[in-house]
Amino acid sequence: MIETTPALAELSPETKLMCERPGTFSGGHRMCAGCPTGLFTKMLTRVSDEYEIVAGNATGCLEVASSIFPYSSWQIPWIHTAFENASAMMSGVEACYRSLVRQGKMRKKLKFVVMGGDGGTYDIGLQSLSGAMERGHDLTYICYDNGAYMNTGVQRSSATPLGAATTTTPVGSESSGRKGNRKDLTKIMLAHNLGYVAQASIHDIHDLFRKMKKAIDHDGPSFINLLSPCIPGWKIDADMAVESAREGVECNFWPLFEVENGKFTINYRPTAKKPVTDWVFSQGRFKHLKKHPEVIAAFQAEVDKQWAWLEMEEARTK
């Protein structure tokens, strides 16, 4: 139990309970200063007392910074495998668990969570992720999306937004950054007809907590796509990760929504429509786009198109 402070006393009962439960992830990890990735990892064991969590990581920032030998930040059973097979690995662990339960050799209630960045999820790990979801394993996959291969030097991934400068989409006289629109992984997961799929943002802890609980509680495969800014990759100040995620939601670049058994719900509607320039020009990776209004126009058109699709799906499934 932690000491109750005046600030804590103002929180909702559910949030207080979350704060009082033991966390999954200890301090002293080696994430970049200001990296928000540790926020959701601390919440894995705080969503419920009804089960224990077993977690697995694809290679990436979170794995590298939390498990530098001989140290570990993980306070739960945790496994690291390569980029491409994190979902396959955890599928095997979950299948083994079910076998042990059937044999009467295991009585604990366990839940399984896989985590990966966008490089390990949208690209290299997509095949094993799709297979695990299709086979119906009881596991939750959380993708922390920062829009590039940040751990290996900020190379473009298929989650990189239009116009972003990366080391493999450099800006120059012949290039205005990444060409083409990002892959929509959330839609791909929806095509697997999962019982629970959601988009969340690291800035809205209450919404994220609720979605993590739903996803992990769900018996069967579930997926959360989580916007998690990268300080060096986005070229923002170390104290701007949470605010930058908020701006991404406010301009509709990253809508907060969930789909439960096919029913769409938009969880947050900005009170005033903000242009994407509010978010884009707050980041160094897009600053060159001030000279490319045609890219900004295309970026805005894509954001508007995706928001219209989302509203249509919500109305259709109401």
Tens digits of residue pLDDT in 293-312: 999 999 999 999 999 999 99
Picking from 61, 179, 164, 37, the residue whose alpha carbon sits closest to that of residue 120 is 61
pLDDT at 18 (0 to 100): 81
Q: Are 85 and 126 in contact (CB under 8 A)?
A: no
Instruction: Flag whether pLDDT at 179 surpasses 80.
Output: yes
Residues 117, 43, 134, 110, CA torsion sign: positive
pLDDT at 312: 98
SS3 114: strand
pLDDT tier, 8 (very low <50, low <70, confident <90, very high otherwise): low
Task: Say what the pLDDT of residue 2 is.
Answer: 41
Kindly state the tokens that stand for 198: 């959601």
- Confidence grade of residue 17 (pLDDT, cut at 50, 70, 90): confident
Q: Is the pLDDT of residue 125 over 60?
A: yes
Rounded Cα–Cα distance for residues 172 and 204 (Å)? 36
Segment among 8-12, 150-154, 232-236 with least mean pLDDT: 8-12
Q: What is the largest CA-CA distance in the chain?
A: 66
CA 135, 137, 140, 145 torsion-angle sign: negative
Q: What is the pLDDT of residue 229?
A: 98
Cα–Cα distance measured from residue 314 to residue 10, given in angstroms and rounded to the nearest whole number: 33
- 24, 47, 147, 193, 245 from 136: Cα distances, Å: 25, 22, 27, 10, 31
Residue for token pair 């490319």: 292
